[in-house]
Amino acid sequence: MSTAPAQRAASAQPARAETSDQAFHGGRLVARRLKAHGVTTLFTLSGGHLFSIFDGCREEGIGIVDVRHEQAAAFAAEGWAKVTRTPGVAALTAGPGVTNGMSAMASALQNHSPMLVLGGRAPAMRWGQGSLQEIDHVPFVEPVTRFAGTAPETSAIPGLVDRALGAALTPPFGPSFVDFPLDVVFSEAPEGEPPARLPDPAALPAAEGAQLERAAELLRRARRPVVMAGTDLYWGHGERALSELIEELRIPVFLNGLARGCVPADHELFFSRTRGTALKGADVALVCGVPMDFRLGFGGSFGEETEIVVIDVGRPERPHPRAVAAELYGGLPATLSDLREAAGGGALSSQEWIDQLRVAETEKRAVEGAELADERAPLHPMRVYAELQQVIDRDAIVVGDGGDFVSYAGRVIDSYEPGCWLDPGPYGCLGAGPGYALAAKLARPERQVVLLLGDGAFGFSGLEFDTLARHGVNVVAVMGNNGIWALEKHPMEFLYGYSVAAELRPATRYDQMVEALGCHGELVERPGDVAPAIERAFSAERPALVNVLTDPAVVYPRKSNLA
């Protein structure tokens, strides 16, 4: 392996080592400040504007993991953040290097993923004269970042890195960007002040005031309460406090995004198949760490009479699409604990409601049995997941990168621990998967990392299997290969009677492609061969792709997003 195995950053707080009056070049100053804040790994693609940063990271012992496209480096930084809850860091060379990473920055913005992108930049002394890749990045990355700035001089670098990381870890969290003019980053300066203390999302103060009492009052008289929790529950380290709340008050819980696994899927109060019924029928809904966006019908997923209590680490960036009864903004561990105590700390009158939902949940799961056991070839995606679940560990990290294939996974693949389900999130950017999986396996080398990959998604970042092979990162990918863009083809045919721009080459041998890149590959055409092929992939001691031919006639059952 060309880089040392990444070690988990134990804390977002800096090491309080004293700084030296010794002068360092700008890249070394960047690396020293990253190291002080616990950063162990830098994702990048080679570029001359970054040489000083590479040299600094090498001197400071920060692992350098190079990829084949800058979008993968930036997605890997976001993936690192998603798995560790500490900032991931990518370095992108000037001009096209930065623009190639913008989709990942936009993804991180919408996912609230704390990450830092370091950009190369043409020299300040030649600015405006037409240097190679000269462009001002800041105006176009500002809309997709929490902070964006340029180092004006070498001595400003440490403080600017502190400021960027601080912005990434301040609610509502997200990506930051700093670029470094070539002459600035190659010049020398003393390190100056010691590292700033970064925000700790787990230690924010609780929400205060009448809103907390209002929410507690609603809960005390609730008969059909629910919790709908999402990604900010994870970023805010609220999973333990949420579990204590639902267990003491007896409230059924639904999870999406990075909240999946924050309550184990086999918990007695966890539900997934009855979300529509529960949200419509609830008299009180605690909406914790998730916006009322398209995933919640812009608020329409709840009943007209449902009293909604919004709980989050910070105020929303958009107005709520419907009226809410109470709003609690503050540290989630403290806020959820205070709410539990204010509501009385005892079981609500909700057992009949819980029993009704459990009966409905069991019935809906039973209906899936036919698809999970489907013997067709090419395969139904549900059968692929029935086989996959036989061979993955309870703490496996599952990464989704695809359309209909990953949509099915979202329905039936269960998570039992936080940070074990990584998908693109509301920005829906395909190609994120290989970068996420690379970072996940580096951050958690002891765990299985499974990349669920559509054949369409492979086209965005498929060459990153070379990255996995070069760095010895043994991710196992399972591909659903149906030869079409299914989430576009089927709705278009429903609307117009035809489809265009929705066909891929059928039965392409992607397994042979990854073999040429140094990985293990297998083609699977029959249901009974899926689990054995995945087991062989885990035993291959190299990255692997199991290329499963799936049925293009299968239509994912969803409401249209065209409205």
CA distances from 164 to 33, 175, 182 (A): 11, 9, 19
**Same domain, yes or no: 146 and 212:** no
CATH of the domain at 513: 3.40.50.970
| Same-domain check for residues 442 and 423 | yes
Structure tokens at 149: 């700035």
| pLDDT tens digit sequence for 113-153 | 999 999 999 998 988 888 889 899 999 999 999 999 999 99
* AA identity, residue 392: I
Closest CA to 336 of 249, 225, 210: 249
Is residue 127 included in any domain, yes or no?
A: yes
Q: Is the predicted pLDDT of residue 200 greater than 60, yes or no?
A: yes
d(CA 148, CA 472): 34
How far CA 428 is from CA of 110, 162, 224, 425, in Å, comes to 10, 30, 33, 6
CATH of the domain at 277: 3.40.50.1220
In 408-533, DSSP assigns E strands to 421-422, 449-454, 476-481, 520-524
pLDDT at 301: 96
Residue 2 in any domain: the answer is no
- In the predicted structure, residue 4 carries a pLDDT above the cut 90: no
Q: Are 191 and 20 in contact (CB under 8 A)?
A: yes
Bond before 172 cis per omega within 30 degrees: yes
Quote the number of domains for the chain.
3
- Do the domain assignments include residue 558? no
pLDDT of 410-439, one tens digit each? 999 999 999 999 999 999 999 999 999 999
Residue 344 and residue 207 in one domain? yes
Report the alpha-carbon distance of residue 489 to residue 451 in Å, rounded: 24
pLDDT of residue 345: 81
The model's pTM is: 0.94
Please give the average per-residue pLDDT across 310-332, as a whole number. Answer: 95
With respect to residue 121, please indicate whether it lies within any of the assigned structural domains.
Answer: yes
pLDDT band at 15, cuts 50/70/90? very low
Task: Say if residue 378 is preceded by a cis peptide, omega within 30 of 0.
Answer: yes
pLDDT in tens, 322-366: 999 999 999 999 999 999 999 998 899 999 999 999 999 999 999
State the pLDDT at residue 24. Answer: 96
Q: CA 312, CA 338: separation in Å to the nearest integer?
A: 14
72 SS3 class: helix
Last residue of a domain, one of 339, 363, 387: 363
Q: Is residue 485 part of a domain?
A: yes
With beta carbons less than 8 A apart as the criterion, state whether 116 and 101 touch. Answer: no
CA distance 422 to 444: 14
Contacts of 392 (CB under 8 A, 6+ apart): 398, 448, 450
3-class DSSP state of 58: helix
113 vs 193, higher pLDDT = 113
- The verdict on 357 and 397 lying in the same domain is no
For residue 86, tell me if it sits in a domain. Answer: yes
Q: Are 220 and 113 part of one and the same domain? A: no
What's the confidence (pLDDT) of residue 112? 97
Based on the fold, state whether residues 293 and 373 are members of the same structural domain: no
Residues present in the chain in total: 563
Q: Are residues 331 and 376 located together in one domain of the fold?
A: no
Q: What is the DSSP string of 510-528?
A: HHHHHHHTT-EEEEE-SGG
Residue 561 lies in a domain: no
Residue indicated by tokens 């900010």: 232
Instruction: Give the H or E element holding residue 466.
Output: helix 464-470
Last residue of a domain, one of 180, 199, 218: 199
pLDDT band at 19 (very low <50, low <70, confident <90, very high): low
pLDDT of residue 20: 63
Same domain, 273 and 157: no
DSSP H or E segment with residue 307: strand 307-312
Identify the bridge partners of residue 178 per DSSP, sorted by sequence position.
118, 149
- DSSP class of residue 374? -
Assign residue 109 a region: left if phi > 0, alpha if psi is -120 to 50, beta otherwise?
A: alpha
Residues 220 and 190 in one domain: no
The residue among 347, 363, 379 that closes a domain is: 363
Provide the 3-class DSSP secondary structure of residue 57.
helix
Residue 239 predicted with pLDDT over 60: yes
Q: Cα(523)–Cα(480) distance, rounded to whole angstroms?
A: 11
Q: Name the percent of the chain in helix, strand, coil, to the closest 5.
A: 40, 15, 40
Residue ranges with strand state E in 345-465: 397-401, 421-422, 449-454
Greatest CA separation found in the chain? 73
| Residue 562 placed within a domain | no
Q: Which tens digits make up the pLDDT trace of 368-395? A: 999 999 999 999 999 999 999 999 999 9
Range of the domain at 506: 368-549
Residues 45 and 141 in one domain: yes
Same domain, 151 and 240: no
What mean pLDDT, rounded, does the chain reach? 94
Per the CB < 8 A criterion, the answer to whether 229 and 288 are in contact is yes
What the block records as the tokens of 544 is: 């692997």
**Class of residue 366 by CB neighbours under 10 A (exposed 0-12, middle 13-18, buried 19+):** exposed
Measure CA 121 to chain center.
28
pLDDT, tens digit (0-9, with 9 covering 90-100), for 249-295: 999 999 999 999 999 999 999 999 999 999 999 999 999 999 999 99
DSSP state of 69: S
Residues 311 and 388 in one domain: no
Q: Whole-angstrom Cα distance, residue 478 to residue 360?
A: 31
Task: List, for residues 471-498, the tens digit of each pLDDT value.
Answer: 999 999 999 999 999 999 999 999 999 9
